Amino acid sequence: MKKLLFTVAIIALSVAAKAQQTAKPPASPTIAVKPLDTTKHQTPKLYNPAADAKADIAAAVKTAQAQHKNVLLQIGGNWCVWCLRFNDLVTKDADLTKYLTDNYVVLHVNWSPENKNEKVLADLGYPQRFGFPVFVVLDGKGNRLHTQNSGYLEEGKGHSKAKVMEFFENWSPKALDPKTYVEKEKAK
């Protein structure tokens, strides 16, 4: 009797194993995917991976020197939601836009898998260590004045207008001009 049960069990297991091998996997459910509507919600292309960052920075410095401004390098990529949020804030807020255009020549420097601009970023003191976006302020001679971690400017799911304005003001040409402080002392 034990032999019979053992034989039946072996046959049953063999049949089950064979059934699993020949069974077709269940069909995947069909998912309807809508094509992207590229006419409405295009991601802005602030950064150009093909740009010559070194030449662009040199041109920005030359322009800044002629206009008595500093250069603000916004380093990041089109893939970076925080980069896009920062740009959205400073281009849609009239106070920030005016202060920025009055005091800085702005340049978006790309960092992406296509072009990490490693040599340029090395020359700027490796600002990518702070994440993206990261800001580098240059004077009209191309000297690096400051590297700003954008995390300190964040608030909620964006950037604080007050913190961004303070950053712009603290690194503007006027803030770095010794005459500004001599005038303040005389006024006391």
* pLDDT digits 0-9 by tens, 150-170: 999 999 999 999 999 999 999
Q: What is the largest CA-CA distance in the chain?
A: 114
The mean pLDDT of the chain is 85
Residue 76 has pLDDT above 70, yes or no: yes
Residue linked to tokens 């998912």: 31
Do 146 and 152 touch, CB atoms closer than 8 A?
A: no
Q: Where would I find the beta strands (DSSP E) of 9-132? A: 70-76, 104-110
What size, in residues, is the chain?
188
Predicted local distance difference test score (pLDDT) of residue 57? 98
- The pTM for the full model equals 0.76
Q: pLDDT of 18-47, one tens digit each?
A: 544 444 444 433 334 334 444 455 667 999
Residue 8: the pLDDT is 45
Dihedral over alpha carbons 69, 75, 79, 80 (to 10 degrees): -90
Pair of tokens at residue 103: 């005091």
* Encoded tokens for 35: 């094509």
Task: Express each pLDDT in 94-128 by its tens digit.
Answer: 999 999 999 999 999 999 999 999 999 999 999 99
For the four alpha carbons of 130, 61, 70 and 86, in that order, the dihedral sign comes to negative
Average pLDDT score over residue span 86-91: 97
